Amino acid sequence: MKLNYKNRISLRLIIASALIVALSFFIIYEVAHWTILFNIDQRLSEELKEHEGQISIIDGEVRFVHKGEWEEREHREIQFNPIYIEIVDKKGNSLDKSPNLGEVNLLFRPDYSDPNKGFNLSLKQGEVRQMQIALNNGDQGVGYLMIATSFSNQSLLLNNLKKILFLLFPLILFSLYLTLRYLAGKSIEPVLYITEKAKEITTKNINERIQLPKHQDEIKDLSMAINDLLDRLEKAMEREKQFTSDASHELRTPLSVLKGNFEVLIRKSREPQEYVSKITSGLKTIDHLNSVLDQLLSLARLQTESIDLHEVDLIYLVEEIVGSVKEHQNFRNISIENQLDQPVYVLSNENALSMVFQNLLENSLKYSQNDSDVQIRIKKSPSGVDVDICDHGIGIEPEHITKIFNPFFRGDSSILGRIKGAGLGLSIVKRLCDDLKIQIEVKSEKDNGTIFTLKFDESLIQS
């Protein structure tokens, strides 16, 4: 059965309430029942004791001592709760009884000779409660004294109580169900509003937000969490828009230049050197486009693929990368200063980590003079292990430090100095570092050099 939240919560509450109400009613009935029986049994017990003293046993014959007085009193007084008395011998044969019993006899039950515990039975006079005790002459049992009193009123009271409770039970449950359903509906209202509002928000009106409720409660927390999510989505959408426009600009500009150059070239016949020069510059443009596309592909792949982490020998990896970068960069000077006295193994990914080091090293070489060297420093830090990539190059303007990890951002000096690049290297580095849980920090001084620090937290270090 498919129930909505309002009905489901009301149903659960009503089941719990039904159990509680049923238990309460059961306790009420049992207490009333026990109290009535306790009182009547107490009275019967007292009557038994009183009448036991009025019985004489002479020569084995059992009889009431003051039967005449007693009968007279019975005729004189109107008795609302008459007491029925009967004496029987050991076998249960009636020896004597009170006149109010008439033809009827009380029920002899040899198993019930307890002066504290009675039992119910029906007589012609109505429902009665009876109690009995054994009568002894010395050690010898001679018969039983049986006493009973009317139980009709009490029985009626208990029956009425039972009927009222049975009638009240569904009525209480039904009214509880209606109240709970109403309250559940009221409590779910803010959630319905959030659902409706969230459905209305699309990419076209992503700037709209859910109105916060007045009270500081879980609903407010939920609304705030959804608003935060919308904030993040809006920012991501803006970044995406910016990225797409930057990417198309980055690809379209060299393509337009290439097209323009070729159009000029075919307008009339030219000297062979001119053809060679234009085609060479065209090839360079194609190389640049190729590298931009490669980096865009790497970024796109990083967004969808997850990185598999395993144990990596950090110092060995740094040495490997330095060797290969040197080979491609005319064997420029890259030095490694290892301040650790033993190998360090980190939880990482060789390919991803190589890409990070390669990008940072290539930037350091790219943005420093040909003769100045680049240094890698591996050292212990309070939080784990740090790797610094230091250069003495052109440095970064302070206002650019926060932007260098944005896709397609390029510092003025890189553009003015015609240093090759598309502004994608550091965004790839940042994404990889986030995935590898490496913190990256930058310190730079204009015209003095830059230090990129990769911080490997204690949790990444494998012992």
Q: Which of 45, 48, 425, 433 binds ligand ADP (CB under 6 A)?
A: 425
What per-residue string of b and e applies to 94-114 under the rule 16 or more CB within 10 Å gives b? ebebbeebeeebbbbeeebee
Site string for ligand ADP, 98-137 (x = CB under 6 A): ----------------------------------------
Site string for ligand ADP, 437-456 (x = CB under 6 A): -------------x------
Q: Which tokens go with 92?
A: 């249960």
* Of 88, 98, 92, the residue nearest 149 (C-alpha): 98
CB of 324 to ligand ADP, least distance (A): 18
CB of 276 to ligand ADP, least distance (A): 28
Q: Which amino acid is at 129?
A: R
Q: How many angstroms separate the CA atoms of 191 and 185, rounded?
A: 10
Q: Between residues 64 and 367, which has the closer beta carbon with respect to ligand ADP?
A: 367
Q: Which of 387, 421, 431, 433 binds ligand ADP (CB under 6 A)?
A: 421
Q: How many angstroms separate the CA atoms of 274 and 420, rounded?
A: 24
The CA radius of gyration of the chain, in Å to the nearest whole number, is 51
How wide is the angle at C-alpha 356 spanned by C-alphas 398 and 349, nearest 5°?
A: 145
Total number of residues that touch ligand ADP (CB under 6 A): 21
Q: Between residues 131 and 422, which has the closer beta carbon with respect to ligand ADP?
A: 422
Q: Between residues 349 and 427, which has the closer beta carbon with respect to ligand ADP?
A: 427
Q: Which window, 9-17, 108-116, 317-325, 419-427, contacts ligand ADP (CB under 6 A)?
A: 419-427
How wide is the angle at C-alpha 343 spanned by C-alphas 341 and 346, nearest 5°?
A: 130
CB of 416 to ligand ADP, least distance (A): 10
Own/partner contacts of 349-353, CB < 8 Å, gap of 24 or more, are: 349/307, 349/308, 349/309, 349/310, 349/312, 349/436, 350/312, 350/317, 352/307, 352/432, 352/435, 352/436, 353/312, 353/317, 353/432, 353/436
Which position has the token pair 């109240």? Answer: 179
Q: Between residues 41 and 391, which has the closer beta carbon with respect to ligand ADP?
A: 391
CB of 403 to ligand ADP, least distance (A): 8
Q: How many angstroms separate the CA atoms of 291 and 283, rounded?
A: 12
Site string for ligand ADP, 362-401 (x = CB under 6 A): -xx--x-----------------------x-xxxx-----
Q: Does 357 bind ligand ADP (CB under 6 A)?
A: no
CB of 435 to ligand ADP, least distance (A): 17
Q: Between residues 161 and 251, which has the closer beta carbon with respect to ligand ADP?
A: 251
Q: Does 423 bind ligand ADP (CB under 6 A)?
A: yes
- 419 Cβ contact list (under 8 Å, min separation 6): 366, 367, 413
Q: What is the dihedral of CA 388, 300, 365, 401, to 10 degrees?
A: -60
Q: How many angstroms separate the CA atoms of 307 and 301, rounded?
A: 11
Q: How many angstroms separate the CA atoms of 347 and 301, rounded?
A: 21
Q: Which window, 38-46, 140-148, 227-235, 404-412, contacts ligand ADP (CB under 6 A)?
A: 404-412
Q: Does 430 bind ligand ADP (CB under 6 A)?
A: no
Q: Which of 314, 411, 436, 456 binds ligand ADP (CB under 6 A)?
A: 411
Q: How many angstroms separate the CA atoms of 100 and 108, rounded?
A: 18
CB of 201 to ligand ADP, least distance (A): 34
CB of 413 to ligand ADP, least distance (A): 6
* Of 168, 182, 186, 187, the residue nearest 18 (C-alpha): 168
Under the rule (CB under 6 A), what is the footprint of ligand ADP? Answer: 363-364, 367, 391, 393-396, 404, 409-411, 414, 421-427, 450
